[in-house]
Amino acid sequence: MAATLDLISFAMLTLGGFCVFVGGVGVLRMPDLYTRMHAASVTDTAGMGLVIAGLLLQAGWSLALVKLLTVFVFLYVTSPTAAYALANAALLSGHEPEDVEDRTGAGP
């Protein structure tokens, strides 16, 4: 039982770490602010969720479990809000989304 839980937990942590990595690569590689934010959201949602779920399995029934759940709820509420505020502020200050079609040269 414990071994199975450990295995699931490790898998979740690894997958979570991979999602964080993907988010980081996306932030560096995407062309403009909005697509970068889109990439970063992988870190905020899948990465954060999987890492915390993996840690929850490691914590067992303890105080750490409650704390991790609190962190999860807190991040679950605040990071979309922060993303919204960032995108909204960018749009209001005149950042137009770039036309990716033109950049790739696929257009006519």
Integer angstrom CA distances of residue 93 from 32, 35, 90: 15, 17, 5
Rg (the chain; Cα; Å): 18
Under the binding rule (CB under 8 A), the answer on residue 14 touching another protein is no
Q: How far is the CB of 74 from another protein (least distance, A)?
A: 8
CB closer to another protein, 69 vs 85: 85
CB closer to another protein, 5 vs 85: 85
The token pair that represents 45 in the structure block: 């949602």
Q: How far is the CB of 1 from another protein (least distance, A)?
A: 27
Q: Tell me the H-state helices in the chain.
A: 2-29, 33-42, 48-59, 63-92, 100-104
CB closer to another protein, 14 vs 88: 88
Q: How far is the CB of 81 from another protein (least distance, A)?
A: 4
Q: Which of residues 49-108 bind another protein (CB under 8 A)?
A: 77-78, 81, 84-85, 88
The token pair that represents 98 in the structure block: 């770039």
Cα separation, 13 vs 63, in Å, equals 20
Q: Which residues bind another protein (CB under 8 A)?
A: 77-78, 81, 84-85, 88
